[in-house]
Chain A
Amino acid sequence: MIPQQLRRIAAIGTTLVFVLAACGGPAASPPAATSTNGGGTATPTTGAGQPTDAPAEPTAAPGEPTAAASEPTGDGDLNVVFIPKAVNNPYFDAAAEGAQRAADELGGDFTQIGPQNATPDEQIPYIQDATTQGYSAIVVSATGADEVAPALQAAMDAGISVVGYDSSPTSGAYDVFVNQTDFSLIGGALAEWACNLAPDCSGEIAILSATATASNQNAWIADMETALEDEQYANLELVETVFGNDDPQESTTQAQGLLQSYPDLRVIVAPTTVGILAAAQVVSQENSEVKVTGLGLPNDMRQFVENDVTPEFGLWSVPDLGYLAYHVAALLVSGDITGAPGETFTVEGLNDGQPYEIGEDSVVILGPPFTFNADNIGDFNF
């Protein structure tokens, strides 16, 4: 019957589509979108297809479906997109609040997009598509430092400023990395809180982390282990590190497992806001004597400070992190800074008006970690 011809039509059709792709589309090509090269220029060995132009502003697309935020528009040159590890995480929402505030002050645009699950393969397409869309800056919290690097480098080659925040991409794959605090300070703080909460600063402690490959958590844990080697912590014994994958259920199950496997456990240290909440819930519900500390959001942890499960924990001002990251992006876009170590800049409202200095590896540090406890927990709302 007809099937053969139709099959041929379909086959030709498919080929046509790919030919279409290779030729760069029909005459109605969008303005200067050819500045994006996909991943072609990511590595020296492959020659790039098109020359890299300076990115022109793509015109506003007509009649879009109702979307969460607007397409990059031509008004103002400041169009920043935040791509967190995952979008259903209140931590990143808090940062987004700060970023939105900065955007309002500076008169720029702010969008936050990202995957549902914190995996690199889901984050990369968002980075690539953001590059295609031609934002002025991409601010990203990398799920996997190495995995996202080629996509970020492609973005930088396309003239987009890349700012890392919260979790750093590999060095070189960003213009500036806004670190919430000095990593080594976090490790030290974690050790200190564990010591404070363990009776006589002695006993078994365990770590409940996020995903096993998260660069930030792993750095903090490594620093904590180094800090624990200090004499004053000689009586603390780190018995195990488990991973909750930043998933409330998994974190709960792991926390329960810790309580069951180690009857003599004194403190659970969770350097992740999802993990600390889950652990504190479990401890509360089991009426256990174990204390929980780590990095948590004040709104989440308030009740556990009040019932003494988590008398002490810490974080930094997450909204300020977003705020600073946005400002840094703006400064890069306007060319006031290039991200080279040694440059300084000031952001009003932060750091008591003192200038920030870009350090080694183009890292900027927001400030020291902040300890929350019963005295100050009422002062915060994020």
Chain B
Amino acid sequence: MAEAVGPRASRQPFLERVGTAVARYRELSLFIVMLILGAIVAFQAPQFISASNLTQVSTLAAIIAIAAAGQALVIITRNIDLSIESTIGLVAFVVADMLAKEVLDVPAAMTAGVGLGLLLGMGNGVLVAVFRIPAIVATLGTLSIYRGLAFLMAGGRQVTLTQLPDGYTDAARATFLGFPVFVLVAVAIIVTIGLAMRRTRIGRQVYAVGSNPEAATILGIRTGLVVFMAFAAAGLLAGVAGVMWGMYFGTINATAATGSVLQVVAACVVGGVAIFGGAGTVAGAGLGALFLGFIQNALIILRLSQFWLEAIFGGVILLAVAADGIILRRLRRSKSNRRV
């Protein structure tokens, strides 16, 4: 949650104050907006708030949310992971392929998939933390490399629903106490990480590294290790997302998850994880994913042409960034006001 330090409230224009409040309580405002949006759309098309629709939206959003949580960790350390979509795609395909060829049984295959994600994330971590390659460049490279690996393994094949074990994809639609299992998994993961970020030393170190890497190093924090672990975690979570992706979609080929990096980063941005690092929460990223999923769904339900989706997406990202920008200005202004 981004905090504006000591704004001088007296002379602020109204809009700016609203903007500041929105930015401050990003998670809450997202929630409120979703409620309002939901009400408006439901008025037009009641099936929007039907159980089946909400299940569908939240299930798909849960997958993105998990990947976004990992991405948030990386962004908070002032890096970025562009290769996340390739990791998801590669894991999704490998798991599906292993199940189709009956090389492993379901639990083993899922574990292997998550492990693969971890490995890929560690690869990124090595490139950035050990070899000092800027994250944009390194993950741009691994974006291509990992995707290329997926294509190599696929060899043009795809794995279809029929080839998967019976009931494998049903897990994506299973519910527990009325909530979709995927959503519960996502919530559990996000809550765990969120607590770890707040309560543990490593969690605070992540924020420290992102806020001011030089100071962090001087303070004795092992910056490189923290960054490595952030990337590894992002890879792990992308692996989880990849396994879930396969369960959800059934038919998987090597192009799985192409383009999802935009969604994941957008989810982080909308959720208040600022791109300059050191701020934001995984909960925000998760909510951001849900928010974007809601908007997509609302557009479809309202029967707006699918060609409007992209533009609205872009608009939402810009609004979110603008809100972030307001915080930045408050920060700078209040910093310059405090002549220490």
Contact = CB atoms under 8 A, between A and B. Distances in A.
A277 interface: yes
B145 to A, nearest CB: 15
Q: Interface centre among B53, B250, B252, B297, by most A CB within 10 Å? A: B250
Interface stretch (A71-79, A131-139, A249-257, A354-362): A249-257
Contact of B151 (A93, A116, A243): A116
B251 A278 contact: yes
A249 B254 contact: no
Contact of A303 (B162, B256, B297, B300): B162
User: Interface SS of chain B: helix, strand, loop or mixed?
Assistant: helix
Contacts of A237: none
Contacts of A90: 157-158
B209 to A, nearest CB: 35
Contact of A249 (B157, B256, B303, B306): B256
A302 interface: yes
A381 interface: no
Contacts of A247: 255, 258
B154 A88 contact: yes
Interface string B135-159: 0000000000000000100101110
A261 B301 contact: yes
Contacts of A303: 161-162
A370 B45 CA distance: 39
Contacts of A243: 306
Interface string B28-54: 000000000000000001011000110
B160 interface: yes
Contacts of B162: 299-300, 302-303
Interface in A108-135: 116-117
Contacts of A249: 249, 256-257
Nearest to B245: A249
A260 interface: yes
A248 B170 contact: no
Interface string B250-290: 11111111100000000000000000000000000000000
A295 to B, nearest CB: 16
Contacts of A299: 162
A118 to B, nearest CB: 10
A336 interface: no
B173 interface: yes
Contacts of A281: 161, 169, 250-251
Contacts of B301: 257, 260-261
Nearest to A303: B162
A185 B154 CA distance: 35
Contacts of B47: 260, 263
Given A87-B156, A260-B53, A300-B162, A248 B303 contact: no
**Chain B contact patch, size range:** 35 or more
B249 A93 contact: no
B334 interface: no
B211 interface: no
B151 A88 contact: yes
B56 A260 contact: yes
A286 interface: yes
Contact of A248 (B53, B154, B249, B306): B249
A285 interface: yes
Interface in A233-251: 240, 242-243, 247-249
A368 to B, nearest CB: 27
B161 A261 contact: no
A248 B158 contact: yes
Given A93-B156, A249-B257, A300-B162, A240 B303 contact: yes
A277 B306 contact: no
A254 B250 contact: no
A285 B167 CA distance: 10
Interface string A85-101: 00111100100000000
Contacts of A254: 306
Nearest to B307: A212
Q: Interface centre among B256, B257, B306, by most A CB within 10 Å? A: B306
Nearest to A88: B156
Nearest to B52: A286
Contacts of B254: 88, 116
25 contacts: A88-B154, A88-B158, A89-B156, A116-B255, A240-B303, A242-B306, A247-B255, A248-B252, A249-B249, A249-B256, A249-B257, A252-B249, A253-B60, A256-B56, A257-B300, A257-B301, A260-B48, A261-B302, A281-B161, A281-B250, A281-B251, A285-B172, A285-B250, A299-B162, A303-B162
Given A88-B255, A278-B251, 8 more contacts: A88-B253, A242-B306, A260-B48, A261-B303, A277-B160, A281-B161, A300-B162, A303-B162
The 5 closest A-B pairs by CB, nearest first: A257-B300, A248-B251, A88-B156, A281-B250, A87-B156
